[in-house]
Amino acid sequence: MNKRTIYITDFDLKRLREMISTWRRSDFSRRNDLQELEEELNRGLLVEHHNVPDDVITMNSTACLMDLDTGEELVYTLVFPIDADIQQNKISVLAPIGTAMLGYSVGDAFEWKVPDGIRRLKVKELVYQPEASGHYHL
C-alpha cells in the first residue's frame, strides 16, 4: 500500500510542532512516536485551516475507520495526548493509529505498524471535522 498525500492544516502543524518541541526538551525526548509524527508532518501538504477539504482527518476530527483485514469498524476522535481517553474513543496523535490517521481523506487506505503487527485501515467516513463545522479554535 503506497502512502498517499496527506493534508496538514497550518493551525494543526503549529500546535503539533510546539508539542514535539516541548516533549523533545523533556525526559521523553527519545520516544519513537515523536519521530514518526515528525516524519508524517514533514511529508504532509500544508493547507490553511479554513481551506482544508472537509473529508480530511484533522486534529479533533472523529473518523470511522474500517479494518481491511477483519471488516471491523472503529470510530476514533484524534486528539492531543493530554486529551486521550480510549474509553471515550479519543486516540492520541502519538499512538500508532493516531499518527497514521492524521491527514488522510475519506476513501484513503493506509497501513501502520502497531505493537501486534501491521494494521490495514481505510477511512470510511468523517463523522466530524472541526474546520468543516467552522470550529477553527479546536
DSSP code per residue over 60-107: T-EEEEEETTT--EEEEEEE-GGG-BGGGTEEETTSHHHHHHTT-BTT
Local structure of 44: helix, strand or coil: coil
**Predicted pLDDT of residue 35:** 87
List the pLDDT tens digit at each of the 138 positions of the chain.
Answer: 556 788 999 999 999 999 998 888 876 656 788 888 999 899 999 999 999 999 999 999 999 999 999 999 999 999 999 999 999 999 999 998 899 999 999 999 988 887 788 989 999 999 999 998 887 776
Local structure of 30: helix, strand or coil: coil
**Predicted pLDDT of residue 2:** 52
**Predicted pLDDT of residue 108:** 94
pTM for this one? Answer: 0.90
- CATH no. for 7-131: 3.10.50.30
**Predicted pLDDT of residue 3:** 66
133 CB-near residues (< 8 Å, 6+ apart): none
